[in-house]
Structure 1
Amino acid sequence: MRQCLKSTYYKNTMTRNYLIILFLSLSIPLFAQKFEKAKNGKSFDCVILIHGFLRSSKQLKNMGDYLTDNNLLVFYVDYPSRSNTIQEVSKSYLSPIVQNNCISKFNKIHFVTHSAGGIVLRHFLKENKIKRLGRVVMLAPPNKGSEIADFLSGYNFVNTLLGPILMQLKTDNSSFVNNIGTPNFELGIIMGDSSNDPISSMIIPGDDDGKVSIENSKLNSMKEFLLVDRTHTFIMDGVEVQKATLQFIKTGTFK
């Protein structure tokens, strides 16, 4: 009896190991073939994701996974937002990703940004011309600044704590964000109208997402604008937001 059980165990183990080896032998060549096509720019587009102020690329992981599942190769820009200006982030963190991973390797280079990541991208594309530039989706961007930045930057210790980007996101006409210029790329903006930060919403005039007013997210040059029932912090995790982002990248419309 014991010998029989032992024999059955070994058979089951061998069968399981065989299936694992078979799966790997089939999947690895397919993945390699897919990546090789992507490197040659024959079948795939590149999407670069840029996180916002006081955030990291982890906040965009769900969005990145969704785009990856839909045959887009995703790269993340990770930067320390409290110790760099928008110009420094653009030059030292975004530019290497574009140059080393996407230029000349893909059909198109698209961008998806969250919050201040959109401002980083606006500066980068003003300073750099990309021949294969695709489409851009900005999630909750403070394109005309944020009243929260106005309020917080009034305290010296906060400026010291949060770094130079805070001042650059102010709403006054002389602020950095209001002097970048008009974007000339194909742009779709997705903005939330829900807030889980009542104190910030009291500071912000009009409807907002808890950090940015709906009006201040807009640009005259945007191709399309989509309003969703999401907060600023978690807008990228909305299923409808992920679907709309992919739709715009593929077709140039949220519809």
Structure 2
Amino acid sequence: MFTHPILFLFLLLSGHIAYAQECVVLLHGLGRSTWSMHHIENSLEKIGYLVVNQSYLSREQSIKSLSEVVGDSILRCQQHKPSAIHFVTHSLGGILVRSYFQHHDAANVKRVVMLGPPNHGSEVVDKFKDSWWFKWLTGPTGQELGTNPESAPNQLKPIALEIGIIAGSSSLDPWFSSLFSGDNDGKVSVESTKLPEMKDFIQVENSHTFMANSRNVIMQIQSFLSSGAFAKPNRALISSN
């Protein structure tokens, strides 16, 4: 059942084995699909969580309209009468959660783990938003993710949930990385991921695209969902593996 016995032992000894009545919603990023969250889905199911890997058409609507998928996913969880609902998001998925809870009650939603969220926008959008290929790849959604004060992420207020943020600092794209002045994951700067209301934060040596596949990132997700904190400061836990 557990392919990584050391990870299982860590989770067992620290009380990180979940009860099935807790439900976790997974929200993928812009231009991605539920398959990009497949490793996270499998890992959480193996330790007892109910998992809703929510699909949505990320390139076809405004962020405000897309955020309603958060409500849809909560309803899917509530069918199982969970004691708590959590979210694990990649990139745009985190912005959708923040947008949704601007105007909706959190109810029994408790914790959110955000992977590489452009909480203050992305310099990649600033540079390429007027390019035809960027518009084609990202649709109207991508136009809203710049770093200017009027961008959708920068208009959002703090939300009353326990938020843990994982930021990547490794890039596979030197062209995009050249647009940033500091550490970044090739799409989002480390500083842009941060929120004043976040409960915990960790920086990992992973790229934006493949962060959700990292075994160590997945362990950090499990840690925060169960305890409200990341597993620190063991450097072995935040390597690129």
Give, in angstroms, the shift of residue 157 of structure 1: 5.8
Q: How does 1:1-255 map to 2 (within 5 A)?
A: 43-91=20-68, 93-102=69-78, 105-155=81-131, 158-159=134-135, 161-255=137-231
5+ residue gaps, structure 2, are 1-18, 232-241
For 1:16, the equivalent position in structure 2 comes to: none
Q: Considering only aligned residues, what root-mean-square deviation do their CA atoms show, in Å? A: 1.6
> Following the alignment from structure 2 to structure 1, what is the Cα–Cα distance between the partners of residues 20 and 96?
28
Partner secondary structure for residue 99 of structure 1: helix
CA contact (8 A) 1:43 1:107 kept: no
**Percent of aligned pairs with the same residue?**
36
Partner secondary structure for residue 165 of structure 1: helix
> Following the alignment from structure 1 to structure 2, what is the Cα–Cα distance between the partners of residues 227 and 161?
28
> Following the alignment from structure 1 to structure 2, what is the Cα–Cα distance between the partners of residues 248 and 112?
10
Residues 100-156 of structure 1, C-alpha deviations (whole Å, 9 max, x = no match): 432671000000000011001111122211321111100010000000011111335
Larger Rg: 1
Q: TM-score, normalised by structure 1?
A: 0.80
Structure 2 counterpart of 1:44, one-letter code: Q
> Following the alignment from structure 2 to structure 1, what is the Cα–Cα distance between the partners of residues 20 and 46?
15
Structure 2 counterpart of 1:121, one-letter code: V
> Following the alignment from structure 2 to structure 1, what is the Cα–Cα distance between the partners of residues 212 and 89?
9
CA contact (8 A) 1:140 1:189 kept: yes
CA contact (8 A) 2:113 2:224 kept: yes
Moved over 2 A (4+): 100-104, 154-162
Give, in angstroms, the shift of residue 77 of structure 1: 1.4
CA contact (8 A) 2:168 2:185 kept: yes
Partner secondary structure for residue 114 of structure 2: strand
> Following the alignment from structure 2 to structure 1, what is the Cα–Cα distance between the partners of residues 190 and 169?
7
Looking at secondary structure, tell me which structure has more helix per residue. 1
Give, in angstroms, the shift of residue 161 of structure 1: 4.9
Counterparts in 2 of 1:161 and 1:236: CA distance versus 1, 3 Å: closer
Q: TM-score, normalised by structure 2?
A: 0.84
Partner secondary structure for residue 231 of structure 1: coil
Residues 183-204 of structure 1, C-alpha deviations (whole Å, 9 max, x = no match): 2210000111100000000012
CA contact (8 A) 1:48 1:76 kept: yes
CA contact (8 A) 2:20 2:49 kept: no
Instruction: Tell me the number of residue pairs that the alignment of Structure 1 and Structure 2 aligns.
Output: 213
Partner secondary structure for residue 184 of structure 1: coil
Partner secondary structure for residue 127 of structure 1: coil
